[in-house]
Structure 1
Amino acid sequence: MLSSLALSAVPLLLAGLQAATVGAVPTISAVGSKFFYENGTQYYLKGIAYQLTPNDPLIDTAQCKRDIVRMSELGANAIRVYHVDPNADHKGCMTAFADAGIYLFVDLDTFTTQIEQTSPHWNETQLDRFKEVLDEFQQFDNTAGVFVGNEVLTTANGSHAAPYVLAAARDIKAYRNQKGYREIPVGYSAADIADLRPMLQNYLACSKNESERLDFYSLNAYEWCGQSSYEVSGYNMLQKNATDYPIPIFFSETGCNTPAPRTFDDQDSIFGSKMSGTWSGAIIYEWIEETNDYGLINYGPSVSAATNTIVEDGFTRQGTPTPVSPDFANLKSHWATLNPTGVVLSIYKKETGSISAVECPAYTSGAWEVDPSSPLPTLGQTYKEESSKGASTASGKGSTASGGGGATSSSTKNAASAAGVHGSSAPAHLLTISMVLSAGVGALALWL
């Protein structure tokens, strides 16, 4: 009897392994200056900024599924979410997005832990909160990347905050590796400040020490407006500055809305022959229509609470997504014809040796006031301006992060009107399951 029961348990164990493997979405890795799927084909982002609700849009599975239908109609394969609750249950939404082939790029900061340009600091309170978000989302294979900051540097004299962005990236990468997580790429989303380009872009990727540079860099750019062009918009200069960039670079926000309607003509350049060899795609700002008029969809007029509809700031945030016309259709028509194939990973790996690190920008008084030879801030350090180049002093470990408004990019717009492999061929949790089940099968075999 025991032998019969033991034998019957073996196929159950094997079935469990098969069930755990079936339906797993391929992970995304950063190799050199590009993103790749596990099968070696290049990944280009066709993304949407999806901060449906201020605190966390990834906890309402039913709403996620309704929105996914429209996102799939657009041809989207990525979303960006600025703020999440790491203690909430995200399995329903993340599974639904994975089933649709849609990947997540998520910001690690919270409303009170973002790195600030004014008196920048990096401490244990901030790191602990960043860790919580990574802990939650590393379990999902369609988490494609995390941001350690969004538009931290917003003025020409803000360069002193750049080392704190890198310090955050350094520490969250070290934590990721120490925990044995899949090497989810860690990056930064930059404001489009002409006076800081391309110094910031290069500084964040120039270190010869991989642990002290970003895995990807992205830009929030609103330069292509109305009937513009590759040259008039300045995209030709963005391309020139990004040529031979050693890590993936993409637009983390784009889609100028003045003058209306939004035509999204810049997508032809981003995904076309002019830029697709360098840039890894774009995230369109934003999903929901708000007072800033950047939305691609709306949920109709405000209705009574009895219909279980969320209404915030006068806008309905739950229900059936209705396309904003003609913006939604304009983006859909562009993306339908833009499908760059990129390069195959096996071929690209042979060529990555030709990609050299960018040169670190030199300290320039009144322009780029960061000495590239200075060490990054340590945990617990706060910037203090001194007479020496980019000097800073420690203020004590674990000090509480200063408040800050926690503004998402959405509120910013309201006020104004990813060389080296990062990723594994098999998800970490599946490898663990495989090892456990294999050990179980082996034990049963010995017992029999």
Structure 2
Amino acid sequence: MFSLERAVVCSLALLTSAVYAVKPVEVQGQDFVVADTGDRFVIVGVDYQPGGQAGYKPQEGEDALTNGTVCLRDAALLQGLGVNTIRVYNVDPTLNHDDCASIFNAVGIYMLMDVNAPFGGESLNRADPESSYHVGYLSRTFGVVEAFAPYPNTLGFFAANEVINDLGTADENPRYIRAVQRDLKNYIKNNIDRAIPVGYSAADVREVLEDTWAYLQCAIDGDEDDMSRSDFFGLNSYSWCGSDATFDTSGYDDLVEMFGSSTIPVFFSEYGCNDVQPRVFDEVQALYGRQMTSLSGGLVYEYSQEEADFGLVDIHSNGSVTLRVDFDNLQGQYNELDLSIIQSSNDTAVNLEPPECGRSLISSSQFSTDFDIPETPDDVADLISNGLDDPNRGQIVDVDETEVPMECYGTNGNVLEDLAIRPLPEDQSNTPSGEDTSGGATGTGAAPSATSSGAAVPAVGGVPQGLEYGAFMAFLMWLA
């Protein structure tokens, strides 16, 4: 017999689940794992910065994660695409990001956050890192940590991006990258109630790549708890170009050999060469195939079409969106993935202790072998010990709206009807669902699939989980 009390309990559980959809992710050796379950987490992602660098407008109170309506639109499309992670480059830690973070959380999409931004004093100076390593800069990075740490779908923080991009920047810069990582990790340890990984995003410049990874993953004096050591290593790789490329000709075979003995997770923080257009993304099958299980996936560059011509969608001035052929092709590649490989344990993982830092790890005579990391400035050490004064701390909020209010168009020009997010139950992240968002242009919305049970969100009494709370309760009273 139907029980109203039981139905109310179930309904409240679903509503709560829509708020706390994902579990935090942590590092375990060569892998990311879901903290509560220990299940391996592999990044199936897209780099997300609508408007490009110009979309970062702190003076106007705007960045990529301040407009909840925009994030609702993009979350619906990204959920249908099948991603579980976005990378966001430029954010202002003083602004409110609760709506956007909560929407992406609800649909099972994690966020990798850069702590740096493009304006003066907001990142390490590649040409003179010492000049930029000061309390003003580090206070900003701690502010980003405070703003995003409360969101369970914050996967990690990039301490720097391509600060080493040739041999000329490989002398002083490595020491300062480790210094920033140390300060961020110590701040998190002392002021945040959960561990959040901190790492680096590297340029795929082969003359410095392996040395960069070796320098950042080693342990100074053999100390496995060395706080300056990277927790993960991202690689911005564009070596696979077009349908004629292969695992060998793209150099993916060299990357697998290079990172096979990694003691930290390695993944593509950017990929998707656009020399041949539209992009076919054949590399997706290799990246998530059995030959590359030692890597932890990657993020396609990038969501929106900007000047660099890497977009998956066109965003119009009225807020509407048109999917590009690249979107369809990427979705098709995701839909062909063998999820059992992605979700299974990493058979190639090796339980190695991190190597002790030393000259023998570095192959180039021009790359730094100095592991004397700059000391934390006194005024920064005080912040690390006591925390920022009255920082802006984010919080997960209820996601009441699910339907996308602006029009979105498929590649065939037809409107994607009934486009909406589909919040996932607790502990589940988004996965490719087999959906063809643009093909039929009938717009079934972003039907999710989930990593925990492999099932979409259930209905209670035939009522979709996205139903408004008031209407749902009225429905339950009617059943009683």
TM-score strictly above 0.5? yes
Structure 1 residues 187 and 299: alpha-carbon distance in aligned structure 2, compared to 1, 3 A threshold: same
In 1, the alpha carbon distance for the partners of 2:90 and 2:263 equals 28
- SS across alignment from 1:171: helix
Question: 1:233 maps to which residue?
Answer: 250
Map residues 294-305 of structure 1 onto 2, 5 A cutoff. Answer: 294-300=310-316, 302=317
Structure 1 residues 340 and 167: alpha-carbon distance in aligned structure 2, compared to 1, 3 A threshold: farther
* Aligned-pair CA distance for 1:20: 7.0
Question: 2:336 maps to which residue?
Answer: 337
Question: 1:99 maps to which residue?
Answer: 106
**CA contact 2:166–2:205 (8 Å) conserved in 1:** yes
The sequence identity of aligned pairs, in percent, is 31
Given candidates 350, 369, 377, the residue that maps to 1:371 is 369
Count of aligned pairs between the two proteins: 348
Q: Does residue 293 of the first structure (1) align with residue 291 of the second (2)?
A: no
Question: 2:46 maps to which residue?
Answer: 48
In 2, the alpha carbon distance for the partners of 1:298 and 1:344 equals 35
Map residues 404-443 of structure 1 onto 2, 5 A cutoff. Answer: none
Question: 2:93 maps to which residue?
Answer: 86
* Aligned-pair CA distance for 1:260: 1.3
Structure 1 residues 343 and 18: alpha-carbon distance in aligned structure 2, compared to 1, 3 A threshold: closer
Query: Gaps (5+ residues) in structure 1?
Result: 1-15, 303-308, 310-318, 382-396, 399-424, 426-448
In 2, the alpha carbon distance for the partners of 1:72 and 1:344 equals 22
1:271 alignment partner AA: Y
Question: 1:323 maps to which residue?
Answer: 323
Map residues 32-431 of structure 1 onto 2, 5 A cutoff. Answer: 32-37=29-34, 38-53=36-51, 54-55=55-56, 56-110=63-117, 111-112=119-120, 113-121=122-130, 122-160=133-171, 161-207=173-219, 208-209=222-223, 210=225, 211-226=227-242, 227-276=244-293, 278-300=294-316, 302=317, 309=318, 319-325=319-325, 327-338=326-337, 339-341=339-341, 354-358=351-355, 360=357, 362=359, 367-372=365-370, 374-380=371-377
In 2, the alpha carbon distance for the partners of 1:90 and 1:234 equals 39
- SS across alignment from 2:167: coil
In 2, the alpha carbon distance for the partners of 1:253 and 1:233 equals 15
- SS across alignment from 1:157: helix
Deviation track 1:196-233 (CA, whole Å, cap 9, x = no partner) reads 12111111001133312011110001100112001001
1:46 alignment partner AA: V
In 2, the alpha carbon distance for the partners of 1:353 and 1:222 equals 27
Normalising by structure 2, report the TM-score.
0.68
1:233 alignment partner AA: S
**CA contact 1:77–1:101 (8 Å) conserved in 2:** yes
**CA contact 1:145–1:184 (8 Å) conserved in 2:** yes
- SS across alignment from 1:63: helix
- SS across alignment from 1:354: coil
Deviation track 1:84-112 (CA, whole Å, cap 9, x = no partner) reads 01111111111110111000000001333
**CA contact 1:117–1:154 (8 Å) conserved in 2:** no
- SS across alignment from 2:306: coil
**CA contact 1:49–1:80 (8 Å) conserved in 2:** yes
Deviation track 1:389-418 (CA, whole Å, cap 9, x = no partner) reads xxxxxxxx99xxxxxxxxxxxxxxxxxxxx
- SS across alignment from 1:197: helix
* Aligned-pair CA distance for 1:18: 11
Question: 2:392 maps to which residue?
Answer: none
Query: Gaps (5+ residues) in structure 2?
Result: 1-11, 57-62, 384-426, 428-480
In 1, the alpha carbon distance for the partners of 2:363 and 2:309 equals 39
In 2, the alpha carbon distance for the partners of 1:366 and 1:40 equals 38
Question: 1:9 maps to which residue?
Answer: none
* Aligned-pair CA distance for 1:291: 2.2
- SS across alignment from 1:213: coil
CA RMSD of aligned residues (A): 2.8
Question: 2:408 maps to which residue?
Answer: none
**CA contact 1:195–1:367 (8 Å) conserved in 2:** no
Structure 1 residues 168 and 369: alpha-carbon distance in aligned structure 2, compared to 1, 3 A threshold: same
In 2, the alpha carbon distance for the partners of 1:242 and 1:298 equals 35
